[in-house]
Amino acid sequence: MRVRLIAVGQRLPAWAQSAVAEYARRLPRGWRFELSELPAARGEPERRRDDEGRRILRLAAGAELIACDQLGQTLDTAGWARALARWRQAGSSVALVIGGAEGLSEEVLRSSAARWSLSALTLPHALARVLVVEQLYRASTLLDGHPYHRG
């Protein structure tokens, strides 16, 4: 299974880079995890969103796209695990997307197989990345019967 996290923005603080790398290292060996960082676009907000959206869609080509969107469906860890189990069974490629400061373009949202809310809170982009990779790890441990998840 190939899992790609596509995130707009670069130059994460060291603590976030370290946390993302640690949870990515813990993911199951059979997974191919990739972090793709896109530089934020410049210009007017709508133009930035659209430019970032086009680049996101190019990177996500051939993968099931999941948009991390504040207005999306709220899943618990078991919900993430069920989705991972489906993808793993199918041998799918999945791309989870975290947009830039202006959010995700309409084109990305329309192209997404699902929209997942990470929280009703507004999260810093660095923390959102850590949250996504940690939940991937947590859901994988739930599927594998590992005691990390005690939900």
Of the candidates 120, 148, 124, which has an alpha carbon nearest to the alpha carbon of residue 135? Answer: 148
Distance CA 127, CA 124 (A): 5
pLDDT by residue, tens only, the chain of 151 residues: 899 999 999 888 999 999 999 999 999 988 899 999 999 999 999 999 999 999 999 999 999 999 999 999 999 999 999 999 999 999 889 999 999 989 999 999 999 999 999 999 989 999 999 999 999 999 999 999 888 877 6
DSSP state of 103: B
Are 40 and 101 contacting, i.e. CB atoms less than 8 angstroms apart? yes
- Per-domain residue ranges of the chain: 2-143
Was domain 2-143 assigned CATH 3.40.1280.10? yes
Distance CA 73, CA 51 (A): 25
Of the candidates 2, 107, 88, 95, which has an alpha carbon nearest to the alpha carbon of residue 50? Answer: 107
